[in-house]
Amino acid sequence: MNQELMQMMRGTPLLSALNEAELRRLAEVSRRRKLSRKEALFLEGDPVDGFYLVLAGAVRLFKISADGSELTLHIAQRGQTFAEAAMFTPRGFPANAEAVDAAEVLFLPREEFVAMLRDGDELCLRLFRDLAIWIRRLTDIIFSLAFRDVESRLISYLIQQFRDESGRLSNGQELHLDVEKSLLASYLGTTPETFSRVLRKLQDNGLLNVDGPRLTVIDAEALHEIVELDE
């Protein structure tokens, strides 16, 4: 049996509730799948036979509009699970999934997993927490889209990604964007053009230095003020 796989599974909040035997059983029926950059994993509406764990790389979950524009809901990183909730809806996946860069995922079949839900109440509680976190995440996105402008959303993202122990950015700090700017734009619910312009504006106003994917914080205080204005 694959030791590294078991290790990864144990590392997730959800699956760590399983005992050794269950973990091994689940590992046996799971399937690995390699994805190339931008390769689709599933589409919105596809029937759901199980959920996924990211083994390597990252997977993007996104909605797509009739005219083709996209909004990224979440980027699942190595060690994270996704599509757990979809297993319990009759209407298939509520979003699309594709690899950000080359990636590998582990597919965990619904049937075996649900069987384990039936005997372990700890596993149930973990899954409830998982789903509740999703609900939180989605309500946060709704709040952002409804009440905040792109500038505020962008700065929020930076703070969230790069904050120190105090939960804040500090002057001189280097922020290296590890994802494409256009992907980030989609995550912020805007276009690459607007994203670029907002970065530019922050630079012109002396809050941030921009050098390709390398950002340098110039005026952390001002940045924090902008997001705190709309909570």
Partner DNA sequence: CGTAGGGTTGAGGTTAATCAAGTATGGTGG
Partner DNA sequence: CCACCATACTTGATTAACCTCAACCCTACG
Extract the tokens encoding 67: 């005219």
Q: Return the residue of 91, 176, 200, 214 that touches DNA, per CB under 7 A.
A: 200
Closest CA to 61 of 98, 35, 92: 98
- At 132, which helix (H) or strand (E)? helix 121-147
- In contact, 120 and 14? CB cutoff 8 Å: no
If DSSP codes are grouped into helix, strand and coil, which group holds residue 104?
A: strand
Task: Tell me how long the chain is.
Answer: 231
Extract the tokens encoding 95: 């979003």
Query: Among DNA, a second copy, none, what does residue 161 contact (CB within 5–8 Å per kind)?
Result: none
Query: Among DNA, a second copy, none, what does residue 132 contact (CB within 5–8 Å per kind)?
Result: a second copy
- In contact, 89 and 44? CB cutoff 8 Å: no
Closest CA to 98 of 164, 36, 169, 163: 36
For DNA, which stretch binds (CB under 7 A), given 7-15, 74-82, 181-189, 217-225?
181-189
Largest CA distance in the chain: 59
190 contacts DNA (rule: CB under 7 A) = yes
For DNA, which stretch binds (CB under 7 A), given 43-51, 107-115, 206-214, 217-225?
206-214
Query: Among DNA, a second copy, none, what does residue 135 contact (CB within 5–8 Å per kind)?
Result: a second copy
Contacts with a second copy in 78-137 (CB under 8 A)? 85-89, 91, 94-95, 114, 117-119, 121, 124-125, 127-129, 131-136
Q: What is the contact mask toward a second copy in residues 146 to 185, using x (rule: CB under 8 A)?
A: xxx-------------------------------------
Q: Return the residue of 194, 220, 222, 224 that touches DNA, per CB under 7 A.
A: 194
| Cα 56 from Cα 105, distance rounded (Å) | 7
Q: Return the residue of 24, 25, 63, 224 that touches a second copy, per CB under 8 A.
A: 63
Q: Which positions lie near DNA, rule CB under 7 A?
A: 67, 69, 149-151, 180-183, 189-197, 199-200, 210, 212-213
